[in-house]
Homo-oligomer: A and B are copies of this chain.
Amino acid sequence: MKEIVIGVDLGATTVRAGAFTPQGELLVVQQTEIKARLGPDAGLQRIIRLIEKVLLEVNQADTGPVRLLGIGMGSTGPADARRGVLVNPLTLPGWIEVPVVARLTDHFDVPSCLENDADAAALGEYWAGAAAASPGVSAVRCLYAITVGTGIGTACIIDGQVYRGANGFHPEGGHQIVDPSGPQCYCGGKGCWESWSSGTAIGRAAREAIQASGAIAGQGKPGALLLALAGGEIERVEAGLVAEAARQADPLAQQVIERAAEAFAIGVFNILMLFQPEMIVLSGGVIRSLDLFMPAIERVIQAADVYIPAHQVRILPAHLGYYAGIYGAAYAILKARK
């Protein structure tokens, strides 16, 4: 009988579910809105119906009977992987202490498990993405994943296992301090990675630089091109536009990106020193502009060569895009069953 696992990726607006073979082949994928505001009970019903839809489609594929081995879920955090409970996701208002693992196991009568979404995406890249020699066969033992978007999320995978800290919780590597001359962050640190190099930080730094430069007033000044890309509205200046303006040689945008890239490179250096991963996988909106960050990163890696032979560390973009989470969730339940 054909065996499958289901991987679910629960985000703030969308929930996605995929059916996979134990060898890492994606058979079917479906997604729907989560409508989180309707509350966790309605949300769990939507997730269950989505999984049932995926199972139906797999069964209709006429490849013979199918046995469901288990369900893994990656979720927007914080998620308590050990207890299988969504603790209180900032992005799912009112979803407090939701026992998703117990509910999925009850309904489908199979083992299920929960991971933080950053951990799930890293597991996906480990199993079937950037770190995989072929689907289901990882080519590395130690993978570090960094997602740079609104914030900076991190995950460390060792021998297919998620690194967990005290009480099974997910470390927040995005809040390591890389240069204390930077801004105060809500995390309690001053000049942490996220406060320098996230999409949010890049947008804010650019807006502040425009204000300071007087680009609002005059054509041809540094930042004028960036401001023009934003339709002249400073509040519309965000990281994507800053990258675009930097490519078009706006000196203000170039300077903002350069500063963010230097701080980003320090964070990468620290991860090399503290974790010595074989591979670093980068994802998230800001990584679409990875070419602008790579010169600084490469400079730093060459410098770290005293301890970390540069050729032993591969730094590359993620391969699975939006599907990393469902791949990793599927892998997590495969591992958990063993």
Interface, chain A (partner B; CB < 8 A):
141-142, 154, 158, 163-167, 169-181, 186-189, 192, 266, 269-271, 273-278, 302-308, 312-313
Contact = CB atoms under 8 A, between A and B. Distances in A.
Contacts of A308: 166
B177 A270 contact: yes
B312 A266 contact: no
A313 to B, nearest CB: 7
A180 B299 CA distance: 15
A171 B304 contact: no
- Looking at A163, A180, A274, the one whose CB has the most chain B CB atoms below 10 A away is A274
A307 B166 contact: no
Contacts of A275: 163, 165, 171, 274
Contacts of A313: 166
Contacts of A172: 273, 276, 307
B266 A187 contact: no
Contacts of A302: 188
Contact of A169 (B163, B276, B303): B276
Contacts of A304: 187-189
A189 B269 contact: yes
A146 to B, nearest CB: 12
B187 A166 contact: no
A171 B306 contact: no
B175 A273 contact: yes
A277 B168 CA distance: 10
- Looking at A172, A278, A312, the one whose CB has the most chain B CB atoms below 10 A away is A172
A274 B274 contact: yes
A179 B176 contact: no
- Looking at A167, A176, A312, the one whose CB has the most chain B CB atoms below 10 A away is A176
Contacts of A274: 154, 171, 173, 176, 270-271, 274-275
B188 A306 contact: yes
B177 A180 contact: no
A284 to B, nearest CB: 18
A30 to B, nearest CB: 34
Q: Ordered nearest first, which 8 A-B pairs have the shortest CB separation?
A: A165-B276, A188-B303, A166-B278, A176-B270, A171-B276, A175-B273, A173-B274, A172-B307
Contacts of A189: 269, 273, 303-304
A295 B313 CA distance: 37
A273 B181 contact: no
A275 B275 CA distance: 10
A95 B189 CA distance: 43
Contact of A177 (B166, B178, B187, B192): B178
A76 B84 CA distance: 42
A165 B277 contact: yes
Contacts of A179: 179-181
Given A192-B273, A270-B270, 13 more contacts: A158-B163, A165-B277, A166-B276, A170-B276, A172-B273, A172-B307, A173-B274, A177-B270, A187-B304, A188-B304, A188-B305, A188-B306, A189-B303
